[in-house]
Amino acid sequence: MRAIETVSIGNVEDFLHEMVPQLGFQRTPIYRGQASDQWAILPTLFREEVARTEFNSWNELESSLLVRLKQRARGDLGYDPMSELEWMSIGQHHGLPTRLSAWTENALVALYFATEPGREGEDGIVWRILPGDSNLVISQDYEQVPERPRIYGPQKTTPAMLNQKTCYLCHPLPAEDAAPETFEEYYELGDERMHLSRLVVAAGEKEFIRRRLATMGIDARTLFPGMTGLCEQISEEIYSHTDSYEWVFPG
């Protein structure tokens, strides 16, 4: 069984030391930020309950969701996605349950999500995957949905996805109606050439780290272009004050 590396993060400087450079043309480290270290890595599809639906398996449920999306979304999209993976990435981005979990190639973006308000008293976490082989990355002309974990870069992106450097991890479907497996469980028992780490962000430091990120241009306005991101940024700024530098101002 493989162990998951765990690293404690107390400040931005600690985190900067854990930012890994690109390992190859198709071997870019990816990161996923979560506001609670109690949350597992699960795609949105696996949070559904097959037993409560009319479907007998995960495959039936996923296929039906995608068929319905294709029937109704073409008019809104204005183009025809070229593959099942592209349809999945569109659905995932807009809230449809899929087997994809969202990641980023920008480590600081993941740190931003790990420090998201609302989970005070809980450590945040940044997951990091170092791909050992280029075949872990799906090429853009790949037409089939893989049955093993693979990294996918969406072809069609929004301004938010571009700014967040969004990519996706494609999870294997559970067999029939079996309970879904977290990616951590899969990794510990699997043989993929990758390395998974948990970068644990101390609960007491999350607010300060988030303010530091804002000074580096990692804030809601940047990551969510438009009015929603702007209003979120303004709302957060009312708590952004300090008297640590009052000594520089003459009385």
Residue 210 is predicted with a pLDDT of 92
Site of tokens 């030391």: 17
State the CB neighbour count (10 A cutoff) for residue 232. Answer: 15
pTM score: 0.89
What phi, psi does 178 have (nearest 5°)? -65, 155
Query: What DSSP string runs through 125-187?
Result: EEEEEEESSGGGBPPTT--SPPSS-EEE--SS--HHHHHHTEEEEEPPPPSTTPPPPPHHHHH
pLDDT higher than threshold 90 for residue 79? no
d(CA 245, CA 94): 43
pLDDT higher than threshold 90 for residue 113? yes
Residue 251 is predicted with a pLDDT of 64
What is the distance in angstroms between the CA of the first residue and the CA of the last residue of the chain?
63
d(CA 147, CA 237): 44
Sheet holding 166-170, edge to edge: 5-9, 194-201, 124-131, 30-34, 100-104, 166-170, 150-152
- The answer to whether 124 and 38 have CB atoms below 8 angstroms apart is no
Q: For 23-32, 42-51, 139-148, which range has the lowest pLDDT when averaged over its residues?
A: 139-148
Strand bridging mode 30-34 / 124-131: antiparallel
Contacts of 149 (CB under 8 A, 6+ apart): 136, 169, 170, 171, 172, 183, 186, 190, 192, 194
- The answer to whether 169 and 100 have CB atoms below 8 angstroms apart is yes
Q: Please name every residue paired with 168 in a beta bridge, in sequence order, or none if there are none.
A: 102, 152
Q: What is the mean pLDDT of the chain?
A: 89
pLDDT higher than threshold 70 for residue 70? yes
Mean pLDDT of 119-124: 92
> Above pLDDT 70, what percent of the chain?
95
**pLDDT of 204-232, one tens digit each?**
999 999 999 999 999 988 998 888 877 87
Residue 178 is predicted with a pLDDT of 80
Q: For 75-79, 85-89, 150-154, which range has the lowest pLDDT when averaged over its residues?
A: 75-79
- The answer to whether 210 and 114 have CB atoms below 8 angstroms apart is no
Contacts of 161 (CB under 8 A, 6+ apart): 93, 154
Residue 67 is predicted with a pLDDT of 92
Mean pLDDT of 65-81: 87
**pLDDT of 84-100, one tens digit each?**
898 999 999 889 999 99
SS3 199: strand
Mean pLDDT of 53-72: 90
